Amino acid sequence: MSSRYLVLPMGEAAGISPELIIKALNDEKRRAFGRVIVVGDKMLFRKVSKDLDIPLPFTSFVESDEELVSSIAAGEETIFYNLRCIDLEKFRYGQLSADTGLACYAVTAKAVNLIQNSYGSVLVTPPLDARSLAMAGVETTNYESMISTFAECSRGMAMLDAGGVKIFSHTHHMSLRESLETIRFELILDTIIKVDSLTQDKSVFDLDKPLAIASANPIHADTLEYEKEELEAIMPAVAKAGEIGINIVGPVSADHLMHRASKGLYRAVIALFHDQAHIAAMSLDFEHTVTVNWGWPFLAVRVDRGSMIERAGKGIMKPYSLVQALTVARKYISQGVIS
């Protein structure tokens, strides 16, 4: 039995995810990411295929683990694992519901289960929508919390891969005011240590280059004046990290940091705030930025987009971001990366 399949849950059914999956698996770059298992509702995908006039790319349809084993043994390239979870009589493109939220939850749980049972190696996730999950009464309304629940593990650490620039963030999905409260010596040092430990794979990271951390405030390279956050938290944490053997520079003003990172000067960079990371990543390479989650029992790569429900069912989406996520996932496992 091969465990080299990439596994995709279908994401938010009422959004762009089914369209992205069908188009990505029909893309001319298809061979770059190899064998794939998609978990979703077969009748929904047939509807999307018919409505948008895009051929279904699947070479095999299965409805049980036993059938999946047979398809894997037969060397099927693109397997669809059918979970009947969408009521098509109620389904409408762009219309979020408890039904689509429960479906997203169910297909993600099954996708994780397939990897845990060695049917696949990497989880690749298309967009979901927290609103439909909330409508369904699901407490875990993002992939990170869902996967941590399903895999019974602590949350991993997300890294943006923007055209090869690797960006970690000290904080995620919190207000700027709340984020400033986390700029404390012990928390900054903890993030530095975590990022250093996660970037030791020489097949992915250049270990001859330092990590770099952003400043919280605008600074200049020749400045003699720093703000409280730099003086009391970031600079002492960088100094302490150096004492324990971590190769890191900073704080570097964020505008300079991301430019230098794009020139290949750093192993990876640490942004302090969500937008400090995401605005830079999207500016560097909007269509090819993906999120890689490290530290879980398996590798997970995510399309860094929303569900875009206003565009669903119109056939206007390009699959670049999902193709990139699949390509990055295949590249990493081909290099021996497992988590």
What kind and span of H or E run contains 197?
helix 185-198
Each residue's pLDDT tens digit, 219-278:
765 555 678 889 899 999 999 999 999 999 989 988 788 889 889 999 999 999 888 877
pLDDT, one tens digit per residue, over 63-113 is: 999 999 999 999 999 999 999 999 999 999 999 999 999 999 999 999 999
Model confidence pLDDT, tens digit, residues 288-301: 788 888 878 898 99
pLDDT in tens, 193-215: 999 998 988 888 899 999 999 99
Q: Tell me which residue of 239, 237, 269 sits closest to 253, measured CA to CA.
A: 269
Rounded to two decimals, the pTM is 0.85
Per residue in 152-177, pLDDT tens?
Answer: 887 678 888 887 889 999 987 778 88
Q: Which of residues 187 and 2 earns the better pLDDT score?
A: 187
Rg (CA), the chain: 21
Distances (CA, A) of 249 to 132, 210, 294: 42, 7, 22
User: Edge to edge, what strands does the sheet with 36-40 contain?
Assistant: 60-62, 78-82, 36-40, 6-9, 122-125, 299-303, 289-294, 157-162, 165-169, 268-271, 211-214, 248-252
Q: Give the CA diameter of the chain.
A: 67
Please give the pLDDT value at position 1. 40
